[in-house]
Structure 1
Amino acid sequence: MKEKKLISIAITVALVVFVTCVRLRESSGNKSSDKPKKTSTAKSAHNTTKSSRNITKSSGSTTRSSEATTASRMIVPSSSNDCDTRVKNTSDNNHLLLGNPSDAQPCMMLVNNYLIDRTYYVASYNSQRGIPNWVSWHLDADDLGKTNRTDNFRADPELPGNFYHVEGTDYVNSGFDRGHNCPSGDRSNNTSANESTFLMSNMIPQAPRNNKRAWAGFEEYTRNTLVRPGNECYIIMGSYGTGGTGSKGKVKTIDQGNVTVPARIWKVVVVIPAGDNDLERLGSSDVTVVAIDTPNNNKTIDNSWRKYITSVKAIEDSTGYHLLSNLPKKVQLALKSKVYVP
């Protein structure tokens, strides 16, 4: 009897040990499955965003998935230092010498008013509209050379990774041109300068007749009539409103809703004789201001940009921007009221 009891106890102990081992193994297996798989960190946030975007496009859907759209619109907080970088730019030839019209900052929380500096121009970029609010640059004879158009339309790799990145082909078959803010012709001194103007963060959907006729004429006038005789210019160009008419009719957006088509396009050109101490000289009587505000309408736009001459004050009233803010108040008031008709 004792032997049978011992055998029974031994069997029971063995079963308990076996069951315990099995449970421990299962528990260990579950813990290991909860561990995240190692992934390569070599891809940048920009590449990750573009990858998810391309997958959505290739699915054949006419609209991007809500997940892809949300990811591309995500706002990533930047360091607090980037959110308060208000520095008055007073040096000669500085692209922001006239001021920062919308108080844009290089802060990723400012998704609709993000300051970008592309060396050859500075801009306020609006990620939700997929276009710049405005672009500002200095132009003199040194910027004009013999470099041909590079036509290298491409996404801006320096935008924050979680901003929506417009591709160079996203305007194709939209009925709108890839319209430069800072023109290719204003940066013909070297290849790098010219290529910078073909970043899509410098583009707006522009009605073809507006782009190739009225605006092309104003750009040529600025370079050939204003700058080449011995002047320098401080230029701000922007757009506002929603909905324009291209070669295929009127629309509010293109690129499946990711790029807003502006209703109006404006530019302010402040001209002074070439020289030094520009900010001081902008308060003199030798200053000329040419401002235009055109409809982004392929059907109604006139070929002559002179039809759309206006005042800086009128553009301010339409956009809500504070233009020429670096200048003394009295000088601002005088220049903003001028309507120069060449």
Structure 2
Amino acid sequence: MGKLLSMGRSGLRRLMISGLFVVVATGLWYSQEAEYRNRLSWMGVTTWETPSPLNLHRVLRNDGFLVGWSDLRVNPLWASYWLTDDGAARIGDRPGFQRDWRTLWPVTTDSYRGSGYDRGHLAPNYAIAAVHGREAQRQTFLMSNMSPQRPNLNRQLWQRLEEAVMDHFVPRFGTLQVITGPIYADDFLDGVFRRVGFTQVPEAFYKILVVPSESPRVLAFIMPQDVSGNEPLDRFLASVDEIEARTGLDFFPQLPASVAARLEGGISDDGWALQVVARRPGRFQ
């Protein structure tokens, strides 16, 4: 009997030690994960204004960028990344698309085939490669970083905006925080069957640019799917408040209310020199 009690106590100690190890390891992982996410997020990681099944998401960590993945939409709700003017990484050949095994529903590299939609990058290939390196570039080709975009948007207007960000705004300001993602129909039922495979098709896309300084400034865009592609970029200027209202997201949850009211409520391109690039043709046109 004494031997059995001794064995039981020994087993209990081992179980307690194992449990303690799991708790400590989990805490260390969470701390490191939170630190990494915060490094890629000015004024907090994007969250939701009011929790609901439509805007709940998981944060997928990648090299150089984060993705807020929705298992309901089977599509990202946002992607967040930093761009700097001191990037000297080598840009390699264009990688191939890859399935991301972290997504609950299968989104394969052929999921958009024959749909009339492109596999549109949220975190862009060129900019991420130039700033964050080759492995980060490969990860931009994960299907969890794609969203269905019409060709005129993806290959023309959206591509022109991505060029303007990297070739004009980043050199102008040195550092930018970028948050970008899709906008869905107001009525979920209107879009529930509007899908490419499992993936819900957005009706528009947004991009938010922030200069993270003591006096931060913001420039934001909303671009619908039905563009011709050659429109001037400044036609699509929007406020952050409008994007938050249409997505249900809170992009800068740690921003003081007084600053948020000024930064997010209005539309101003003062200091951005947007007119220099608003009508510039894209690299591939």
Q: Aligned residues, how many?
A: 233
Q: State the distance in 2 between where 1:102 and 1:87 align.
A: 19
Deviating runs (4+, > 3 A) in structure 1? 85-93, 109-112, 142-146, 300-303
The residue number in structure 2 matching 1:15 is none
Q: State the distance in 2 between where 1:242 and 1:329 align.
A: 28
- Give RMSD over aligned pairs: 3.2
The residue number in structure 2 matching 1:209 is 152
CA contact (8 A) 2:120 2:148 kept: yes
**Is there any run of 5+ residues in structure 1 with no aligned partner, and where?**
1-78, 244-250, 273-280
The residue number in structure 2 matching 1:325 is 253
Q: Measure how far apart 1:144 and its partner are.
A: 5.5
Do the aligned partners of residues 171 and 235 (structure 1) sit closer, same or farther apart at CA in structure 2, a change above 3 Å counting?
same
Q: Measure how far apart 1:293 and its partner are.
A: 0.7
Alignment of 1:120 onto 2:81:
no
Amino acid of the residue matched to residue 119 of structure 2?
R
The residue number in structure 2 matching 1:186 is 127
The residue number in structure 1 matching 2:39 is 94
The residue number in structure 2 matching 1:336 is 264
- 2:206 is aligned, of 266, 278, 297, to 266
Q: Measure how far apart 1:93 and its partner are.
A: 7.9
CA contact (8 A) 1:242 1:261 kept: no
CA contact (8 A) 2:209 2:220 kept: yes
Do the aligned partners of residues 154 and 88 (structure 1) sit closer, same or farther apart at CA in structure 2, a change above 3 Å counting?
closer
CA contact (8 A) 2:62 2:136 kept: no
CA contact (8 A) 1:215 1:305 kept: no
Amino acid of the residue matched to residue 266 of structure 1?
Y
By relative contact order (CA 8 Å, sep 6+), the higher-ranking structure is 2
Q: Secondary structure at the match of 1:210?
A: helix
- 1:288 is aligned, of 200, 208, 217, to 217
**Range with greater deviation from structure 2 (129-138 or 322-331):** 322-331
Amino acid of the residue matched to residue 316 of structure 1?
E
CA contact (8 A) 1:144 1:185 kept: no
Alignment of 1:165 onto 2:106:
yes
1:239-258 aligned within 5 A: 239-242=182-185, 252-255=194-197, 258=198
Alignment of 1:141 onto 2:82:
no
Amino acid of the residue matched to residue 64 of structure 2?
Y
Do the aligned partners of residues 325 and 112 (structure 1) sit closer, same or farther apart at CA in structure 2, a change above 3 Å counting?
closer
Q: Measure how far apart 1:201 and its partner are.
A: 0.2
The residue number in structure 1 matching 2:281 is none
Q: Secondary structure at the match of 1:211?
A: helix
Q: Secondary structure at the match of 1:137?
A: strand
TM-score by length of 2: 0.72
TM-score by length of 1: 0.61
Do the aligned partners of residues 184 and 144 (structure 1) sit closer, same or farther apart at CA in structure 2, a change above 3 Å counting?
farther
Q: Secondary structure at the match of 2:249?
A: coil
Q: Secondary structure at the match of 2:159?
A: helix
Q: Which has the larger radius of gyration?
A: 1
Q: Measure how far apart 1:143 and its partner are.
A: 3.9
Q: Measure how far apart 1:110 and its partner are.
A: 10
Q: Measure how far apart 1:297 and its partner are.
A: 1.9
The residue number in structure 1 matching 2:179 is 236
Q: State the distance in 2 between where 1:301 and 1:197 align.
A: 23
